[in-house]
Amino acid sequence: MNLTMNSFTQSNCNIYREVIWKNETKIQKKKIRIVGAVVFLALMIFSSVFVIWQMKTNEFGGLIDRIEEVFYGTPFKNAYNAKSLILVDLSNDEVFISKRENEQQLPASLAKLFVIKYAVTLADLDSIVSANYEAISLTKSGSSVANIKTKEYYLQNLFAAMLVPSGNDAAYVVADYCGGLLSPQAKNSQERINAFMEHLNDYLQEQGYDDTVLYDPSGFDTEARTTALDLKKVVESLLEYQWFRDIVSKSSYKATLPDESTQMWKNTNAFLDSTSDYYNGNVKGVKTGSLSDDYNLVVLYQQHGKEFLICSLGSKSNSSRYDDVNYIIKTIDESDYLSR
């Protein structure tokens, strides 16, 4: 009897030890799996941080888009993806945000700002300019136009035609007229425009626009280059003229010509269009520009008694340039900078 009980007890003990051993083994395996998962997660986080750190600035926005899409099912809409940017508080010239502001980009129609800057040093706003067919016909197919006629315009009329509808035809007429002042011996419009562009580039270098070079007064040229910093400088100088502010702030502009006829132009800036989804009453101009796959936008933004200049270059599409600048505007609105 005792032997039977002892055997039974010993057998039970062996079974109990086996159960304990199996449970401990399971616990150990579970611990190993948990530690492995933690290590894997840590490696994933480290890898993600490392990838983000390694990526170039202009690729970062795209990475954010993908991360947001993975986690939330929709792309991140409030990312700045253009190539270059400078945001400055005009009250004290403090740079608020910048991204590759010294990197050369295509100016496209923003070249017209430099043309106007130089032209005002050569002639008065009320100078009468005879727009001739030869200059107008130099306008390239597919470019924006102001429907300039072969008639007389005030120089200020032509500036408005360059700024509001971004008329390339007006740019050629202005360059033709100013080139004639600089080179009276020039035989035709092309020679006069060439003379103007040569003097313009000399002027830009003299004035410290070291990273800007232009070959066509309209900006319809893939070899031209400028920077966000140079654009900031030229727009700041033009904003000193009230006539410039008046022109660029209008959603449409009515010009009165020397013969007292009028011509109406619609602004290319969607921020000024009350029917546009991008309309913003705090935007007070300035100008759009696009060529090839680069879409540019310079904006004067007013908020809480402050004026901000945004120069954004190299967005991927017409809509994305407004999305990019909207992101910058949102950054301004939500920052504590306005309460200083």
* Element holding 92 (H helix, E strand): none
Q: How far apart are CA 170 and CA 158, in angstroms?
A: 6
Q: Are residues 169 and 40 in the same domain?
A: no
Same domain, 292 and 183: yes
| Residue 192 resides in a domain | yes
User: Do 37 and 88 belong together in one domain?
Assistant: no
Is there a domain that residue 313 lies in? Answer: yes
pLDDT recorded at residue 213: 98
Q: Which pLDDT belongs to residue 35?
A: 61
For residues 38-60, average pLDDT: 49
Query: Nearest-CA neighbor of 159 among 167, 221, 151, 216?
Result: 167
Q: Do the domain assignments include residue 69?
A: no
Longest Cα–Cα distance of the chain, Å, equals: 135
Dihedrals φ, ψ of 256, to 5°?
A: -100, 120
Domain count, the chain: 2
In a domain, 74, yes or no: no
Q: Tell me: the pLDDT tens digits for 213-237?
A: 999 999 999 999 999 999 999 999 9
Here the CATH number for the domain that contains residue 218 is: 3.40.710.10
CA–CA separation, 222 vs 308, rounded Å?
A: 29
User: Domain check: are 169 and 316 in the same one?
Assistant: yes
- Is 179 in the same domain as 236? yes
Q: Are 316 and 79 in contact (CB under 8 A)?
A: no
- Are 148 and 276 members of one domain? yes
Per DSSP, the three-state class of 304 is: coil
Q: Are strands 152-154 and 94-99 parallel, antiparallel or unpaired?
A: unpaired
Query: How far is residue 170's CA from residue 221's CA, in Å, rounded to a whole number?
Result: 16
Same domain membership, residue 95 and residue 7: no
Assess whether 154 and 286 both reside in one domain: yes
Give a yes or no: residue 70 inside a domain: no
Q: Which domain holds residue 31?
A: 2-54
Same domain, 299 and 245: yes
264 shares its domain with 148: yes
Confirm whether 132 is domain-assigned: yes
Q: Are residues 36 and 158 in the same domain?
A: no
What pLDDT digit, counting tens, does each position of 80-125 carry?
789 999 999 999 999 988 999 999 999 999 999 999 999 999 999 9
Both 95 and 231 in a single domain? yes
